[in-house]
């Protein structure tokens, strides 16, 4: 007879309305507070979903999400010739721009986009245990560590919902 144990999952809802902006480009850089001690301190697989409200953006821009959980298991390459260091980053995945409609107003070059990532859009992140930093940051960035904005300096990220899913491994 086979005996197997059900792995437990935990979801943490992060709504930008509950954070504090620390950047200058809309909601791209936010501080949050959460008591991670409610999660067991065991190895976990973390996945996420992300949905922003519709934003007026001139063109598509790459967006990456980084979450300061204190455990960096993602490496980022360098554009510098001869740079062979393996640098870690808090980036947990990329976000896609989903066209929601075109602007029919006075500025025809802007379109309405939502910034999104589904559960299967990025590889999971594996953590050695639960996060310990009860004050953490979520950054939507351009890949160089800068706050994400559209092609136009006035294109800012609006409100969003990030759901982190933790599964015991």
Average pLDDT value for residue range 87-99:
84
Asked whether residue 70 is assigned to any structural domain, the reply reads yes
Mean pLDDT, the chain, integer? 84
Asked whether residue 4 is assigned to any structural domain, the reply reads no
Q: How far is CA 140 from CA 72, 83, 100, 109, in A?
A: 16, 25, 20, 23
Q: Which domain holds residue 31?
A: 9-168
Express each pLDDT in 110-135 by its tens digit: 667 788 999 999 999 999 999 998 99
Within 13 A of 54's CA, how many CA atoms are on the CB side?
Answer: 8
pTM of the model: 0.85
- In whole angstroms, what is the distance from residue 52 CA to residue 162 CA? 9
Asked whether residue 132 is assigned to any structural domain, the reply reads yes
Express each pLDDT in 129-162 by its tens digit: 999 989 999 999 987 788 888 666 667 888 999 9
- What is the domain-level CATH number for residue 100? 2.60.120
Average pLDDT value for residue range 95-121:
75
Asked whether residue 77 is assigned to any structural domain, the reply reads yes
pLDDT at 59: 57
Structural domains of the chain, count:
1
């Amino acid at each position: 007879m086979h005996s197997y144990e059900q792995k437990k999952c935990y979801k943490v809802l992060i709504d930008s309305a509950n954070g504090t902006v620390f950047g200058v480009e809309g909601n791209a850089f936010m501080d949050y507070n959460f008591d991670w001690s409610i999660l067991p301190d065991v190895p976990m697989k973390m996945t996420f979903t992300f949905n922003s409200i519709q934003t007026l953006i001139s063109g598509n821009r790459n967006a990456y999400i980084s979450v300061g959980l204190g455990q960096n298991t993602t490496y980022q390459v360098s554009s510098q010739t001869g740079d062979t260091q393996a640098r870690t980053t808090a980036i947990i995945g990329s976000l896609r721009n989903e066209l929601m409609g075109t602007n029919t107003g006075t500025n025809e070059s802007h379109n309405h986009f939502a910034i999104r990532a589904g559960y299967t859009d990025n590889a999971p992140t594996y953590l050695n245990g639960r996060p310990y930093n009860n004050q953490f940051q979520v950054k939507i960035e351009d890949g160089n560590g800068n706050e994400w904005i559209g092609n136009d300096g006035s294109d800012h990220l609006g409100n969003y919902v990030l759901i982190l899913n933790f599964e015991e491994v």
